[in-house]
């Protein structure tokens, strides 16, 4: 944060009404340059923030679409340092918050303290480490808080209320509510009891709740934003890139198609 008195970008985004879209992008897919251009384009859309996924070799929480994007990004040579450098380049050109979605393997290899420091200096505003369970999270939570990064933690439909409270105590920014018991990827319909769950989590924890997994259409986004503090769309956006590449689109066309789809998803 350049100005320590300014409101944190994530808090500001969560406060703005109505709640809105948080698109997920796989860094380095189809190339780190393309990701950079897409991030710039997102600046002109009415999104609330971006979740930027660090490609990982073994993403157990992800379905086939994001797995494929990560495999492609790694095969294209995407390195952690490239992602930091790219974010640093776009940071001052866009106003929305950028949250790093990164596997614990990547964080631990670099070391918790140095990962947090590099993420902060690159201009990330928050972190989501989907495979870091509550019991293993205290060190990262402390480090992130000290650096002014918001650590969003996951809540699943199977998380008991008592555990939700302990997770919320450690988390910063928003809680990431996993809408379905499963991996990331499109679903035809959202669970019927999603609204009740989200409102229960928010009431019991007092934290904003953003919903992800299985959200893929403008209707889904509108519905979720009716009761949650935001909606994350991942696989459906990444799939637009895959589809565009399969039709032989060049990078400029890929960017255009992604931007058009994200614009359509914005409520």
Partner 1 sequence: MTEKTSQTAIPDSAGRYGAFGGRYVPETLMSALHELEAAYAAARVDPAFWVELEAYLRDYVGRPSPLYLAERLTSRLGGARIYLKREDLNHTGAHKINNTLGQAILARRMGKRRIIAETGAGQHGVATATAAAVFGLDCVVYMGAEDVRRQMLNVFRMELLGARVVPVESGQRTLKDAINEALRDWIATVADTHYVIGSVMGPHPFPMLVRDLQSVIGRETRQQILAAESRLPDAVLACVGGGSNAAGIFYPFVEDKGVRLIGVEAAGEGLDRRHSATISRGRPGVLHGMQTLVLQDDDGQTQAVHSVSAGLDYPGVGPEHAYWASTGRAEYVSATDDEALDAFELLCRTEGILPALETAHAVAHCVKLAPQLGRDGVIVVNLSGRGDKDCVEVARLRGRKLGG
Q: Which of 14/178 has CB closer to partner 1?
A: 178
Name the H helices within 16-137.
32-42, 64-75, 80-91, 104-110, 112-122
Number of residues that bind partner 1 (CB under 8 A): 44
Catalogue the active-site residues: 51, 62
Closest CB 198 distance from partner 1, rounded Å = 15
Q: Rule CB under 8 A: is residue 61 a binding residue for partner 1?
A: yes
- In the block, tokens 């293993």 appear at 136
Nearest to 208 by CA among 251, 131, 152: 152
Bridge partners of residue 98, in order along the sequence: 50
Q: Rule CB under 8 A: choose which of 11, 89, 117, 131 binds partner 1.
A: 131
Per CB under 8 A, the segment of 22-30, 105-113, 201-209, 255-263 that binds partner 1 is: 105-113
Helix%, strand%, coil% for the chain, nearest 5: 50, 10, 40
Q: Length of the chain, please?
A: 267
Q: Rule CB under 8 A: is residue 60 a binding residue for partner 1?
A: yes
Closest CB 259 distance from partner 1, rounded Å = 29
Q: Rule CB under 8 A: choose which of 22, 24, 29, 56 binds partner 1.
A: 56
Q: Rule CB under 8 A: is residue 249 a binding residue for partner 1?
A: no
Q: Rule CB under 8 A: is residue 79 a binding residue for partner 1?
A: yes
**Burial class of residue 140 in the structure, from the number of CB atoms within 10 Å of its CB (0-12 exposed, 13-18 middle, 19+ buried):** buried
Sign of CA dihedral 39, 40, 42, 47: positive
Closest CB 157 distance from partner 1, rounded Å = 8
- Using CB under 8 A as the binding rule, the residues of this chain from 133 to 192 that contact partner 1 are 133-136, 153-160, 163, 167, 178, 180-183
The C-alpha atoms of residue 204 and residue 163 are separated, in whole angstroms, by 11
Closest CB 75 distance from partner 1, rounded Å = 11
Q: How many CA atoms lie within 13 A of 56 on its CB side?
A: 22
Residue ranges binding partner 1 (CB under 8 A): 56-64, 67, 71, 74, 79-80, 103-110, 130-136, 153-160, 163, 167, 178, 180-183
């Amino acid at each position: 944060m350049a100005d320590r008195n300014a409101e944190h970008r994530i808090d500001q985004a969560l406060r703005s009404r109505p709640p809105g879209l948080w698109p997920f992008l796989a860094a380095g897919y189809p190339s780190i340059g393309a990701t950079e251009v897409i991030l710039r384009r997102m600046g002109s859309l009415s999104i609330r923030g971006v979740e930027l996924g660090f490609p990982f070799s073994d993403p157990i929480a992800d379905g086939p679409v994001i797995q494929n994007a990560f495999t492609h990004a790694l095969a294209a040579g995407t390195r952690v340092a490239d992602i930091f450098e790219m974010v640093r380049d776009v940071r001052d050109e866009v106003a929305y918050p950028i949250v790093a979605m990164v596997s614990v393997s990547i964080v631990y290899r670099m070391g918790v303290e140095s990962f947090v420091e590099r993420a902060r200096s690159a201009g990330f505003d928050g972190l989501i480490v989907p495979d870091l369970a509550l019991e293993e999270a205290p060190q990262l939570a402390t480090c992130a808080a000290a650096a002014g990064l918001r650590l969003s933690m996951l809540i699943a439909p199977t998380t008991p209320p008592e555990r939700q409270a302990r997770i919320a105590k450690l988390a910063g920014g928003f809680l990431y509510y996993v809408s379905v018991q499963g991996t990331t990827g499109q679903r035809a319909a959202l669970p019927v009891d999603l609204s009740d769950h989200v409102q229960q989590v928010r009431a019991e924890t007092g934290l904003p709740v953003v919903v992800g997994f299985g959200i893929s259409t403008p209707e889904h986004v509108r519905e979720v934003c009716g009761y949650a503090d935001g909606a994350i769309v991942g696989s459906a956006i990444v799939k637009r890139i895959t589809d565009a590449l399969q039709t032989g689109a060049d990078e400029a066309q890929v960017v255009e198609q992604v931007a058009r789809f994200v614009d359509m998803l914005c409520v």
